[in-house]
Chain A
Amino acid sequence: MSHSYLQLTQVSIEFPTDTGPYKALDNVNLSINKGEFISLIGHSGCGKSTVLNIVAGMHRATGGGVLLENKEVFEPGPDRAVVFQNHSLLPWLTSYENVELAVNQVFKKQKSKAEMHDWIMHNLELVHMTHAKDKLPAEISGGMKQRVGIARALSMEPKVLLMDEPFGALDALTRAHLQDSIMEIHADLGNTVIMITHDVDEAVLLSDRIVMMTNGPAATVGNILHIDLERPRNRLELADNENFNHYRAEVLKFLHERQAKKAA
């Protein structure tokens, strides 16, 4: 019996294609502790998103499995909330209503109406979005949409927060703001987080551990890097930090030497 919070054991997955089954992941092992911030990094097409989808329960592993608190995961659920890359807010609901939909669904029987309202406002407050609570997604910027998406995910009080390239579609400044917000929230709430990213700086800045994946087909965990930087972290101070730059170089070396994409 494993003692880690979230355990991926020998996870592999095959997708049927016209030319026979395609093995996307092979023998992925990963154990994650409660409150840990994990980044998955790797070249596009290496199956990072597939790992996340298996943890989320959107895909079922064809071999091995995922245990969350020693219970097998085999369908999606609010205990593994997902922040999607393109926010995925319902365009016909306001920010408040988007969070409300999740809160209603998760806490219908536990909270009174007033408590639910407070909880929605609390989560919008966490991402600094109370001022736009009555705006539709089309009326707010990309970064704000992603904030609301994060509020929606947080409002489910997930055991694990899954983020699929949450800041990939944002400009650099907005991205930095959101990264700071995420660090703040992680420090406050101590969520267990798995985040997919392409951005080496982002991975080093946010993570406790960086999981580097080999290229597909049959992708697997290539290396795991422990980031031993003290929290709270400050991006300006870290810019000159020796350790930070060392970690950064490690990840870059992995991506561009050991797993360089052939003829990309």
Chain B
Amino acid sequence: MFLINFLKHNLLRTETDRPMPLLGQLKLPKDIGNKFIKIFIVPFIAFLLFLGLWGVSATQIETSLGTVPGPSQVWEQMVSLFNEHKAERVKEQAFYQRQEARNAKKLEEDPNAEVRIRPYTGKPTFLDQMITSLLTVMTGFIIASIIAIPIGIVSGLSTTVHRAINPLIQIFKPVSPLAWLPIVTMIVSAVYVTDDPMFSKSFLNSAITVTLCCMWPTIINTALGVSTIDSDLINVSRVLRLNWATKIYKIVLPSSIPLIFAGLRLSLGIGWMVLIAAEMLAQNPGLGKFVWDEFQNGSSNSLARIMVAVFAIGFIGFFLDRSMLTLQRKFSWDRNAIIR
């Protein structure tokens, strides 16, 4: 009964493609059934099929690290990675407690004693790597957006600027992150020299590589959006003699919001792919390094652990795109637009 009520409230309400049937002709169970099948059952069956196919075919392939893991081994490794993370946190806490006790004791004996607080140097866990990767990709992506949106706007507004920078964009756009990485690494280590670095070099390397690879779609789409503004709206701004800041804020930005977001979403997707590759190649901390380390480690669990990472990368990519979508819905003025 509870289930029926739940379905009634959550499924029927979203029904917009068909008019509500009249109360007399209402065939509740059937309608709910159809909707339920469409929304949940179909993807669920597809997923089960995928798991089955994977499980069966995996056992057929023998590698030097044992058979290719099936779904159950991957699940096991996911649980064990999570447990390792928890264990590591317990160890870390114990370390800090011991250190604190030691320091307190030292100060008790001699109030002028110099106490040193050492950071915990345990190996980063899978979850740590995930968070590092997320931070890095967001940093790179935000820098890219800050650079790309203004460039896109200027190049959309001025044909001359567009002609000037378009060849550069076309040349740099297809360059692989693996080609940028050595250059970025060398430049960062040459330029970023401080005694007390706020960011580690590896973090900067990865973030800048992400920036370099993911700003192009945003530039191109922003420029397209800006250059296709309705000319009547531009005429309105001419009649009103809007200054450039007002013109951009009131007319140019709102009317190119859909394409700017299309660009941003492409950029973020590319940035996330690039980051994993950069981390692998440069041994910068993050999910890419985790994959590489597991590959080098070559234990019988390695393949399953790498697959956990594959799923994590996929889910995070999906989550990032959904977040951008939510953001776009927030910024979109067009209530009738279909955003997906």
Contacts and interface: CB of A to CB of B under 8 A. Distances in A.
Interface in B300-340: 333-336
A77 B336 CA distance: 33
Contacts of A185: none
Contacts of B335: 136, 138
Contact of A76 (B230, B233, B239, B334): B239
Interface in B139-154: none
A57 B238 CA distance: 9
Interface residues of A, number: 24
B283 to A, nearest CB: 47
A81 B239 contact: yes
Interface residues of B, number: 19
Contact of B333 (A84, A92, A101, A102): A92
Contact of B235 (A82, A102, A156): A82
A77 B241 contact: yes
Contacts of A78: 239-241
A212 to B, nearest CB: 26
A203 B310 CA distance: 71
B104 interface: no
**Overall SS of chain A's interface:** loop
A84 B246 CA distance: 21
B235 A105 contact: no
**Overall SS of chain B's interface:** helix
A88 B250 contact: no
Contacts of B233: 88, 90
Name the residue among A57, A92, A102 with the largest chain B CB count within 10 angstroms: A92
A217 interface: no
B238 A88 contact: no
Contact of A86 (B232, B254, B336): B232
B238 A76 contact: yes
Interface string B245-271: 010001100110000000000000000
A45 interface: no
A76 B52 CA distance: 69
B49 interface: no
Interface string A81-106: 11010101011110000000110011
B235 A76 contact: yes
Contacts of A106: 240
Contacts of B164: none
Interface string A70-84: 000001111011101
A58 B334 contact: no
A84 B230 CA distance: 12
A250 B246 CA distance: 48
Contacts of A56: 239
B232 A88 contact: yes
Contacts of A105: 240-242, 246
A105 B335 CA distance: 27
B115 interface: no
Nearest to B251: A90
26 contacts: A56-B239, A58-B235, A76-B235, A76-B238, A76-B239, A78-B240, A80-B239, A82-B235, A84-B235, A86-B232, A88-B232, A88-B233, A90-B233, A91-B255, A91-B333, A91-B334, A92-B254, A92-B255, A93-B250, A101-B240, A102-B240, A105-B240, A105-B246, A106-B240, A136-B335, A138-B336
In the A-B complex, list the 7 residue pairs whose CB atoms are closest, starting with the nearest: A92-B333, A88-B232, A76-B238, A92-B254, A105-B240, A76-B239, A88-B236
